[in-house]
Structures are given as C-alpha cells and as structure tokens.
C-alpha cells in the first residue's frame, strides 16, 4: 500500500484503519443483499487506481464465537499465548483465527482427537467425493455438535484453527472522483444449512457496521487496468458484484475526459430490485459517456437471460468494436459466468468473423496475449 508520494506503509500485516462512512443497501426488496460501502482515506495520503482491490481484515461475529465456546464448555476467559502475547480465548477467536471454515486438514486433525468411525471412513482416499459433500454447508462447530468432545483443551482447539485470512474486494470508485475515499460493492453471504443460520465472515462483518474502523490495505492489480490511451473503446461485462471495477473505470474516464467509447453489459436477478447503481448507468447513457448499455435480468421472465446472451444478441456490433481495437473486460463469478462469457466471445468470432471453432479459440487467446481481454474473476 503506497501513499501518493510512493512510500510503502500499510500492508496485510500492518493494515490501515479506515473509517466506514457509508453502508447502503443497493437491493431493496430483493432476496439478495448487496451493499455499497464508502471508506475514508482522510489524511492518509493513500493512493489506488481503478482495477485495484482492497483487502479487508474482518473479525468473527461475537455470537458465532459464543456459540462455539458454549458448545465446547469454555467461558472465553481462558488465557492463550499468541506470538508472546497473552490474550483471552474469546478475543483470539474473534480477532485472530478463522473459526467458521471447515477443511479436510481440519477434519483430519479433529479426528486425531475424536477418532470417529464416520470421519475415518470419509477421510479414505476413495471417499473424496463423499467428503466434499459432507463439508458443503458445514462449519467447524458442526463437527463439535456431531461428535461432542468433552474436555477438549484450549491448545487442541487452537491447533485446529488457522489465522483469519483477509478478503479482497474489487474497488468500485475512482480516487479522482471521490477524493480520499474508497468504495466497495459487496454481496452479503447468508444461508441456512444443516439447521443453522450461517453468514460469511467478512461480508457480514461489514454489513453489520457503520462508523467503525476497518483494518484494510490496497492490493494493486496491474493486469486489470484501463488502456493508457483514452481514445480506445472499452467493453465491460460485470454481472452482480462484477459491476464494481466498472463503476471505477467509468468515473475515471469521465474525470480524465477520455474520448474512447464505453459499453457496459450488466446483469442480475431483477431490474426492479437488483439494478446496482442503476441511476448512475442511466445518467451516463443519457449523457453519452456510455455509448451502449445492455442489461440481462435473469429472474424477470421464465427463461434465464444472462450477459452472454446479450453479447451474442449484439454480436455484430461487439465484433465491430473488437476490430476497432476495443479492450474487453470481465469481472465477477469465476466458476460459471466467466467461462460462459469466454465461450460467447468464441461464438461471436465464429459467427461474425467466419472462424472455425479452433480459430476462434486461437483468436480469443491472442486477445489475451495482446492484453485486450482482461479478467478480474473470483
Ligand atoms: C480479487 C477478488 C475480488 C473480489 N471482489 C469482490 C467484490 O467486489 N464484491 C464481493 O461481494 N465479493 C468480492 N470478492 C469475494 C470476497 O473476497 C469474499 O470471498 C466474499 O465476500 C465472501 O467472503 P465472506 O468472508 O463474507 O464469506 P466466508 O466466510 O469466506 O464464507 C464463504 C463461504 O461460505 C460458503 N457458502 C456460501 N454460500 C453458501 C451456500 N449458499 N451454501 C453453502 N455454503 C455456502 C462457501 O464455502 C463459501 O466459500 C472478491 C474476491 C477476489 C479474490
Ligand atoms: N453459493 C450460492 O448459492 C451463491 C449464490 C449467489 C452468489 N454466490 C456467490 O456470491 C458472490 C457474489 O454474487 P454476485 O452478486 O456477484 O453474483 P451472482 O449472484 O452469482 O449473479 C449475478 C447474476 O448473474 C447471473 N448468473 C448466474 N449464472 C450465470 C452464468 N453462468 N452466466 C452469466 N450470469 C450468470 C445470476 O442469475 P441467477 O442467479 O438468476 O441464475 C444473476 O442474475 C459470488 O462470488 C458468487 O459466486 C453464491
């Protein structure tokens, strides 16, 4: 993390304490909770660029920690020594360790203590799939509930836990448009599994706060940047929270007076409730900063409409932009969306560039090599 004068001061191990200024629900009336956050960089001299991410160091929810302590018959005041420092078990669990995730290594370590036949069976190499299914939707507390361990020592518990990892978020603001601020767009993870309500550590930590101090650091991403040449057209595909860096891109292009054409593909569940920053996009379209805006609402009709369907629908125009030298960006879900968008690009090259399947794959690879096809997917 650097200041405007290029000094490195803040990092994952020495985070900056930023005040959370705004925490706003973007999806009123939706069954999904996506929030807009604004964090202060006032007086820090800190600097970032559109395309970078912010790392956030969250704390576990006190209720989640209390549940774990109660299940294990600890009162939380037990003393724990960490890096030469003596602090309470409850503090260690809240601030330092990941106590919700469940990994194969943890199950292995737990079973060295519990010796449960069911877990021994699941840990056999040939039962890999069953183990993955078992872990899905379960957290560490589920092990203790299913295989109670009376008399577990504090050291045994600590040995099962790894340090709390930070979470990265694509930055949703341009520093030139919002002096001394950094904005984020976050889908809050909440779900019910195996009879318990669960929540994502970092997204719920932020969702449940306002005015607090948030430990964070910048994570530069030199592979996801606006073209240096402001005249170059850009195509941005960002469904769901994938929209975040494109808000930063468009703000930056506005402030810098970049003349290149801008095209956005956005999609989410329903236009009425999930149109993230809808007013801003509509205004950019009216003002001409956005030349094209294509929206894919997946749950406003019986059949699913996704961003890649809109890309194919507008294939001829998209092909023209790419041949004019446009840079193509995709941000958001890596597991399904980014793969389908990649496949849509190949389909467009086959249809509008008269390419064979193999040639279209080579062409997509060449776009990547030329750094005209950039991804920020997670
Ligand atoms: C470069 C990068 C940029 C990112 N940018 C953004 C961004 O702009 N906005 C954003 O919202 N996120 C973004 N993410 C994702 C973000 O970092 C976190 O992974 C996300 O917020 C979840 O973290 P959490 O701590 O809330 O959840 P965690 O406590 O980490 O829990 C998440 C886990 O819960 C489990 N889970 C979730 N849902 C279910 C379910 N329905 N059923 C069963 N299990 C489930 C899964 O195991 C999942 O891995 C980005 C990630 C990367 C790497
Ligand atoms: N585990 C879960 O149950 C679950 C659910 C949602 C999100 N997530 C995770 O939560 C995070 C944030 O979610 P998000 O708000 O960014 O996005 P998201 O909820 O995953 O999706 C945003 C939009 O993309 C659509 N979509 C689904 N599959 C797609 C595909 N193959 N191609 C193109 N679009 C597709 C969704 O439609 P539909 O939802 O109508 O299909 C929705 O309209 C992501 O990391 C995501 O993986 C997890």
Secondary structure of 221-272 as H, E, C letters: CCCCCCCCCCCCCEEEECCHHHHHHHHHHHHHHHHHCCCCCEEEEEEECCHH
Q: What is the CATH number of domain 16-57+166-219?
A: 2.40.30.10
Instruction: Give me the pLDDT at residue 1, please.
Output: 64
Q: What is the pLDDT of residues 185-211, one digit of tens each?
A: 999 999 999 999 999 999 999 999 989
Centre of ligand 1 from the C-alpha of residue 356, in Å: 37
Ligand 1: does its nearest atom lie under 6 Å from the Cβ of 168? yes
Integer-rounded Cα Rg, in Å, for the chain is 24
Q: What is the pTM of this model?
A: 0.96
Residue nearest to atom 18 of ligand 2 (CA): 240
Secondary element (H or E) of residue 283? helix 278-287
pLDDT at 243 exceeding the cut of 90? yes
User: What average pLDDT score do residues 3-31 get?
Assistant: 88
Ligand 1: does its nearest atom lie under 6 Å from the Cβ of 167? yes
Centre of ligand 1 from the C-alpha of residue 319, in Å: 33
Residue nearest to atom 43 of ligand 1 (CA): 137
Q: Kindly identify the ligand whose nearest atom is closest to the C-alpha of 190.
A: 1
Ligand 1: does its nearest atom lie under 6 Å from the Cβ of 290? no
pLDDT at 111 exceeding the cut of 80? yes
Q: Kindly identify the ligand whose nearest atom is closest to the C-alpha of 57.
A: 1
- Residue 375's nearest CA partner among 208, 159, 225 is 225
Centre of ligand 1 from the C-alpha of residue 321, in Å: 33
Rounded to 10 deg, the angle between the 278-287 and 244-256 helix axes is 30
Helix, coil or strand: residue 183: strand
pLDDT at 3 exceeding the cut of 70? no
Q: Kindly identify the ligand whose nearest atom is closest to the C-alpha of 334.
A: 2
Task: Please list the residue range(s) of the chain that carry CATH number 1.20.990.10.
Answer: 62-163
Distance, in Å, from the CA atom of 292 to the CA atom of 78, rounded to the nearest integer, reads: 60
DSSP conformational letter for 273? H
- The answer to whether domain 62-163 has CATH 3.40.50.150 is no
Centre of ligand 1 from the C-alpha of residue 200, in Å: 7
Residue nearest to atom 5 of ligand 1 (CA): 169
Ligand 2 atom with least separation from CA of 191: 3
Q: What residue ranges line ligand 2, CB within 6 angstroms? A: 34, 187, 239-242, 267-269, 298-299, 304, 306-308, 332-333, 336-337, 340, 378
User: What average pLDDT score do residues 135-159 get?
Assistant: 94
**Could you say which of 3.30.530.20, 3.40.190.10, 3.40.50.80, 2.60.40.10 is the CATH number of the domain covering 234-377?**
3.40.50.80
pLDDT bucket at 7, cuts 50 / 70 / 90: low
Ligand 2 atom with least separation from CA of 308: 33
Centre of ligand 1 from the C-alpha of residue 191, in Å: 12
Q: Kindly identify the ligand whose nearest atom is closest to the C-alpha of 271.
A: 2
91: exposed, middle or buried (Cβ count in 10 Å: 0-12, 13-18, 19+) = middle
Task: Please list the residue range(s) of the chain that carry CATH number 3.40.50.80.
Answer: 234-377
Q: What is the pLDDT of residues 150-185, one digit of tens each?
A: 889 999 999 999 999 999 999 999 999 999 999 999
Ligand 1 atom with least separation from CA of 168: 17
Task: Please list the residue range(s) of the chain that carry CATH number 2.40.30.10.
Answer: 16-57+166-219
Residue nearest to atom 12 of ligand 2 (CA): 187
């Amino acid at each position: 993390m650097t200041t405007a004068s290029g000094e490195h001061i803040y990092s994952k191990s020495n985070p900056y304490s930023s005040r959370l200024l705004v925490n706003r629900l973007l999806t009123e009336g939706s069954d999904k909770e996506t929030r807009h956050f604004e964090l202060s960089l006032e007086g820090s001299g800190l600097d970032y660029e559109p395309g970078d991410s912010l790392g956030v160091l969250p704390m576990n929810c006190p209720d989640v920690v209390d549940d774990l302590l109660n299940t294990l018959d600890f009162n939380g005041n037990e003393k724990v020594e960490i890096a030469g420092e003596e602090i309470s078990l409850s503090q260690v669990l809240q601030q330092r360790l990941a106590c919700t995730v469940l990994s194969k290594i943890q199950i292995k370590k737990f079973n060295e203590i519990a010796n449960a036949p069911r877990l021994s069976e699941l840990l056999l190499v040939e039962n890999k799939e069953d183990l993955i299914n078992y872990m899905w939707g379960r957290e560490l507390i589920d092990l203790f509930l299913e295989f109670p361990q009376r008399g577990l020592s504090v050291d045994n518990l600590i040995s099962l836990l790894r340090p709390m990892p930070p979470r990265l978020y694509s930055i949703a603001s341009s520093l030139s448009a919002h002096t001394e601020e950094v904005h984020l767009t976050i889908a809050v993870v909440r779900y019910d599994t195996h009879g318990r309500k669960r929540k994502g550590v970092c997204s719920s930590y932020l969702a449940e706060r306002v005015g607090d101090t948030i430990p964070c650091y910048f994570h530069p991403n030199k592979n996801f940047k606006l073209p240096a040449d402001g005249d170059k057209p850009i195509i941005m595909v960002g469904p769901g929270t994938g929209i975040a860096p494109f808000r930063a891109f468009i703000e930056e292009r506005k402030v810098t007076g970049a003349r290149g054409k801008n095209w956005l593909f956005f999609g989410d569940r329903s236009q009425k409730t999930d149109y993230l920053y809808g007013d801003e996009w509509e205004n950019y379209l009216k003002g001409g900063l956005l030349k094209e805006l294509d929206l894919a609402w997946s749950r406003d009709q019986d059949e699913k409409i996704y961003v890649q369907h809109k890309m194919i629908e507008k294939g001829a125009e998209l092909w023209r932009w790419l041949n004019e030298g446009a840079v193509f960006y995709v941000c958001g879900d890596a597991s399904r969306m980014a793969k389908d968008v990649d496949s849509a690009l190949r389909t467009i090259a086959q249809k509008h560039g008269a390419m064979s399947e193999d040639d279209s794959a080579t062409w997509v690879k060449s776009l990547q090599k030329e750094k005209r096809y950039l991804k920020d997917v997670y």
